[in-house]
Structure 1
């Protein structure tokens, strides 16, 4: 894991413009900060999808076309703290559906906390945590040939370019059988007044979450980033529906990363691109899945129309 981290940081800092992978936001401190972010008044995304999972749970279950006497596997990519999914799990458990829940996450800490929480909240639930890469885990699970429902929530697909998102969904299809379902949660295109504060909250929690990536590089790769010399800066273009996050060097400076064995120079005002957060509409989703094995079966939105869970079926 540390070797992969080192190689990806090296590749990103040697790129022009510089980049760092957003997946490395999530260490123990990053996990805790993201839980704080999800509870911020500006961060509408979690509340919007939670609205769907709380108030339209039965509609979700009906759209999955699940049979109570047929076992299935419920697999969540990037499960995190399971806040939204818990609403669905409670309903499935109370209605005596036969299934195992497979939460997949890169963070062992997040999976440990999730399993502990679910063991208390839903004692009868069978939870089989899976740490690692989505496709490696899915490849190991596909041998079962059991019906599958895949959850990919929180608009995590929006962290990819459209081409990568299309490739990602195509690869998901390759690990599934005809009739399997994919619940794809996406943030819908909205005005800058709603979107931008979600990535730049007044308490500075999102800024701390982003800057923690540099702190992690300091700890794990023995570098000397001075965190006071960098700031978080989000940008959003309403026209193309893409929010971007950057870490900005506030002074001209050099940073040594000992594990890599290199020193990197930063100009004052130079940006490190850390994340994109794509927003969607029906046309974009159709375009992304047009060369995959999926088609849209249903679209379920929250009460404000901010967020949508698309139910896709593997053809």
Structure 2
């Protein structure tokens, strides 16, 4: 097996021994998963993408200014989890129109998504200097301190909400550690709102979110030689207003055994047993400020859409 398949096999071996059984949402994003997520972003129930688009359209010049303090010189705009870059293109156009000296370094784990992004940028923004990085976040984070000049790191689309609270703090500390005084972070946070709207965004009427979740089993069948029968699994999600957490699961609809060739193991599943696949936490603005302070960051600027559904928050290292 290739290294990536070895890592996936190790993750599955560990995750399916836990109680409850757990798999990471980072493995959603093979090429098929990335295509399905593009469809999710266009669903009527899925408000976060539209909300963040509206923020970039309305506040583009102010966001660009906040990311590149006056006198900071040339900088690298690094985007973790770039996807198709649709929202980021609005910011890239602002920077190009202002004759800002910068390079754009999109990071994505999906080679297919990266190829599509680089080709699209070449057509739409030919003056843009692009340095693509096909990598996971952990590897990309280790490379940030090696880049010359100042940098602005983007982490959009409420991806920060996918981390467990302890992992979130650890991730943000790693982002904060290499920041120079003129460096900036821009992180998208989905805000708490009507619980029914939040739940619908993760369990749409067309079933695209269900297909996205179930695609994880298809990936295990293809890459690890597993024999999951998708007709015996269902997507389920819930939302708790108490802690702001959406939790997504794959549910076994019957007692069954699944053989995973790469592990040389057969896993037993009881009827209605779950595999926990994703968390998606929602935040309040005071929670965001408190989180920033806890990990050595400060809020420089905060931009929200008109409905208050979403916030893009610019952060910097705390003053010495």
Matches within 5 A, 1:67-146: 67=70, 70-146=73-149
Aligned to 1:306: 309
Counterparts of 1:20 and 1:69, CA distance in 2: 41
Question: Runs (4+) of structure 1 moved beyond 4 Å?
Answer: none
Q: Which residue of 2 aligns with 1:217?
A: 220
Report the counterpart of residue 155 of structure 2 in structure 1. 152
Contact 2:203 2:210 in 1 (8 A): yes
User: Which SS does the other structure have where 2:236 is aligned?
Assistant: strand
Structure 1 position 68, deviation (Å): 8.0
1:284 equivalenced with 2:300 (yes/no): no
Q: Aligned partners of 1:133 and 1:233: how far apart in 2?
A: 27
Question: Which residue in 2 is equivalent to 1:199?
Answer: 202
Distance in 2 (CA, whole Å) between partners of 1:96 and 1:145 is 19
* 1:154-193 matches, cutoff 5 A: 154-193=157-196
Counterpart-to-counterpart distance in 2, 1:260 and 1:204: 31
- Residue 140 of structure 1 deviates from its aligned partner by 2.6
Distance (Å, rounded) in 2 between the aligned partners of 1:253 and 1:287: 45
Look up the match of 2:258: 255
State the shift of 1:206 in Å: 0.4
Contiguous gaps of at least 5 residues in structure 1:
none
Q: Does 1:228 align with 2:231?
A: yes
8 Å contact kept, 2:246–2:279: yes
CA shift for structure 1 position 269: 0.8
Give per-residue Cα distances to partners, 1:65-103, cap 9 Å, x unaligned: 444882111000111110100110011112211000000
C-alpha separation in 2, matches of 1:48 and 1:3:
38
State the distance in 2 between where 1:79 and 1:19 align: 25
With normalisation by structure 1, the TM-score equals 0.97
SS in 1 for 2:79: strand
The farther-off stretch of 234-243 and 142-151 is 142-151
**Could you state the TM-score of these two structures normalised by the residue count of structure 2?**
0.95
CA offsets per residue over residues 123-152 of structure 1, 9 Å max, x none? 000111011132422333422341111101
CA distance in 1 between partners of 2:34 and 2:216 (Å): 12
Distance in structure 2 (CA, Å) of the matches to 1:183 and 1:301:
13
Q: Could you give the per-residue CA deviations for residues 143-179 of structure 1, whole angstroms, max 9, x where no partner exists?
A: 2341111101111010011211111110111222223
Q: Gaps (5+ residues) in structure 2? A: none
26, 38, 50: which is aligned to 2:53? 50
| Contact 1:37-1:43 within 8 A present in 2 as well | yes
Is the 1:195–1:236 Cα contact (8 Å) retained in structure 2? yes
Q: CA deviation at 1:205?
A: 0.4
Q: Which moved more, 1:208-217 or 1:238-247?
A: 238-247
**Please, which moves more after superposition, 247-256 or 128-137?**
128-137
Judge conservation of contact 1:68–1:98 (CA < 8 Å) in 2. Answer: no
Alignment: residue pair count: 315
Matched, 1:237 2:262: no
